[in-house]
Protein backbone atom coordinates (compact mmCIF):
# COMPACT_ATOMS: atom_id res chain seq x y z
CA UNK A 1 0.00 0.00 0.00
CA UNK A 2 2.92 2.32 0.71
CA UNK A 3 3.81 2.47 -2.99
CA UNK A 4 0.28 2.63 -4.51
CA UNK A 5 0.38 6.41 -4.99
CA UNK A 6 3.44 6.00 -7.19
CA UNK A 7 2.53 2.64 -8.72
CA UNK A 8 -0.99 3.63 -9.77
CA UNK A 9 -0.36 7.16 -11.01
CA UNK A 10 -3.11 6.79 -13.64
CA UNK A 11 -5.67 6.12 -10.91
CA UNK A 12 -4.85 9.11 -8.68
CA UNK A 13 -7.84 11.16 -7.64
CA UNK A 14 -6.70 13.43 -4.81
CA UNK A 15 -4.10 14.06 -2.16
CA UNK A 16 -5.31 15.18 1.26
CA UNK A 17 -3.29 16.36 4.26
CA UNK A 18 -3.25 12.84 5.78
CA UNK A 19 -4.15 10.49 2.94
CA UNK A 20 -4.16 9.65 -0.75
CA UNK A 21 -7.21 8.68 -2.82
CA UNK A 22 -7.12 6.46 -5.89
CA UNK A 23 -9.75 4.75 -8.01
CA UNK A 24 -9.63 0.99 -7.68
CA UNK A 25 -8.57 -0.57 -10.98
CA UNK A 26 -11.35 -3.17 -10.73
CA UNK A 27 -14.56 -1.20 -11.29
CA UNK A 28 -17.01 -4.10 -10.95
CA UNK A 29 -18.51 -1.82 -8.29
CA UNK A 30 -18.64 1.58 -10.06
CA UNK A 31 -16.74 4.22 -8.13
CA UNK A 32 -14.86 1.78 -5.88
CA UNK A 33 -12.00 3.83 -4.43
CA UNK A 34 -9.15 3.35 -1.97
CA UNK A 35 -8.14 5.96 0.58
CA UNK A 36 -4.90 5.22 2.42
CA UNK A 37 -2.85 7.08 4.98
CA UNK A 38 0.39 8.83 4.13
CA UNK A 39 1.81 7.73 7.46
CA UNK A 40 2.51 4.02 7.66
CA UNK A 41 0.38 2.78 10.54
CA UNK A 42 -1.83 -0.26 10.84
CA UNK A 43 -4.38 0.90 13.42
CA UNK A 44 -6.46 4.03 13.91
CA UNK A 45 -5.32 4.30 17.52
CA UNK A 46 -1.71 4.64 16.31
CA UNK A 47 -2.59 8.15 15.14
CA UNK A 48 -2.73 11.14 17.45
CA UNK A 49 -6.29 12.20 18.24
CA UNK A 50 -6.29 15.36 16.09
CA UNK A 51 -4.82 13.57 13.09
CA UNK A 52 -7.34 10.75 13.51
CA UNK A 53 -10.24 13.22 13.56
CA UNK A 54 -8.91 15.03 10.48
CA UNK A 55 -8.42 11.70 8.68
CA UNK A 56 -12.01 10.68 9.40
CA UNK A 57 -13.12 14.00 7.87
CA UNK A 58 -11.17 13.05 4.74
CA UNK A 59 -12.94 9.66 4.65
CA UNK A 60 -16.31 11.42 5.01
CA UNK A 61 -15.48 13.96 2.30
CA UNK A 62 -14.64 11.16 -0.14
CA UNK A 63 -17.77 9.19 0.76
CA UNK A 64 -19.93 12.25 0.10
CA UNK A 65 -18.23 12.86 -3.26
CA UNK A 66 -18.77 9.23 -4.28
CA UNK A 67 -22.40 9.49 -3.21
CA UNK A 68 -22.88 12.72 -5.18
CA UNK A 69 -21.36 11.24 -8.34
CA UNK A 70 -22.75 7.70 -8.33
CA UNK A 71 -25.98 8.06 -6.29
CA UNK A 72 -25.71 4.62 -4.66
CA UNK A 73 -28.11 3.04 -2.20
CA UNK A 74 -25.27 2.88 0.37
CA UNK A 75 -21.55 3.59 0.69
CA UNK A 76 -19.59 0.69 2.19
CA UNK A 77 -16.58 1.59 4.34
CA UNK A 78 -14.21 -1.36 4.59
CA UNK A 79 -11.31 -0.94 7.01
CA UNK A 80 -9.76 -4.35 7.45
CA UNK A 81 -5.98 -4.55 7.18
CA UNK A 82 -5.65 -8.28 7.70
CA UNK A 83 -3.79 -8.77 4.42
CA UNK A 84 -2.32 -5.27 4.01
CA UNK A 85 -1.15 -3.83 7.32
CA UNK A 86 -1.36 -0.20 6.23
CA UNK A 87 -4.35 1.86 7.32
CA UNK A 88 -6.69 2.14 4.32
CA UNK A 89 -10.37 2.20 3.45
CA UNK A 90 -12.18 0.52 0.60
CA UNK A 91 -14.94 3.03 -0.16
CA UNK A 92 -17.49 1.25 -2.29
CA UNK A 93 -20.72 2.67 -3.70
CA UNK A 94 -23.33 -0.09 -3.48
CA UNK A 95 -26.62 -0.51 -5.28
CA UNK A 96 -29.55 -2.83 -4.61
CA UNK A 97 -29.10 -3.94 -8.23
CA UNK A 98 -25.51 -5.16 -7.80
CA UNK A 99 -25.16 -8.98 -7.90
CA UNK A 100 -23.78 -9.26 -4.35
CA UNK A 101 -26.27 -6.93 -2.66
CA UNK A 102 -26.61 -6.80 0.33
CA UNK A 103 -23.60 -9.00 1.12
CA UNK A 104 -20.01 -7.72 1.46
CA UNK A 105 -18.08 -7.24 -1.78
CA UNK A 106 -15.89 -10.22 -0.90
CA UNK A 107 -18.85 -12.56 -0.22
CA UNK A 108 -18.13 -14.53 -3.40
CA UNK A 109 -15.81 -14.31 -6.38
CA UNK A 110 -16.90 -12.07 -9.22
CA UNK A 111 -15.56 -11.08 -12.60
CA UNK A 112 -13.20 -8.12 -12.49
CA UNK A 113 -14.20 -5.16 -14.63
CA UNK A 114 -11.40 -3.12 -16.16
CA UNK A 115 -12.13 0.10 -18.00
CA UNK A 116 -10.56 1.82 -20.98
CA UNK A 117 -8.07 4.54 -19.98
CA UNK A 118 -10.50 7.30 -20.99
CA UNK A 119 -13.23 5.78 -18.82
CA UNK A 120 -10.94 5.78 -15.77
CA UNK A 121 -10.02 9.40 -16.47
CA UNK A 122 -13.69 10.35 -16.78
CA UNK A 123 -14.61 8.75 -13.43
CA UNK A 124 -11.60 10.33 -11.76
CA UNK A 125 -12.55 13.78 -13.06
CA UNK A 126 -16.15 13.41 -11.88
CA UNK A 127 -14.96 12.48 -8.36
CA UNK A 128 -12.42 15.33 -8.33
CA UNK A 129 -15.13 17.80 -9.32
CA UNK A 130 -17.40 16.52 -6.52
CA UNK A 131 -14.54 16.91 -4.03
CA UNK A 132 -13.98 20.57 -4.89
pLDDT tens, N- to C-terminus, the chain (132 residues): 788 899 999 999 999 999 999 999 999 999 999 999 999 999 999 999 999 999 999 999 999 999 999 999 999 999 998 888 899 999 999 999 999 999 999 999 999 999 999 999 999 999 999 999
Sign of the Cα torsion 89, 1, 106, 80 reads negative
**How distant, in Å, are the alpha carbons of 5, 26, 105, 132 from that of 29?**
21, 8, 8, 23
What are the residue ranges spanned by the domains of the chain?
A: 4-131
pTM (predicted TM-score): 0.95
3-state class (DSSP) for residue 116: coil
**In 21-95, alpha helices (H):** 49-70
Task: Give the class (CATH, top level) of 4-131.
Answer: alpha beta
Confidence (pLDDT) at 82: 86
Amino acid sequence: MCSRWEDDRDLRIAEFPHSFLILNRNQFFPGYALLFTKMHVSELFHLERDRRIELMEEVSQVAKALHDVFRPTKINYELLGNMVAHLHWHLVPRFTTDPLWPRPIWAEPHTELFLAPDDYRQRIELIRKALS
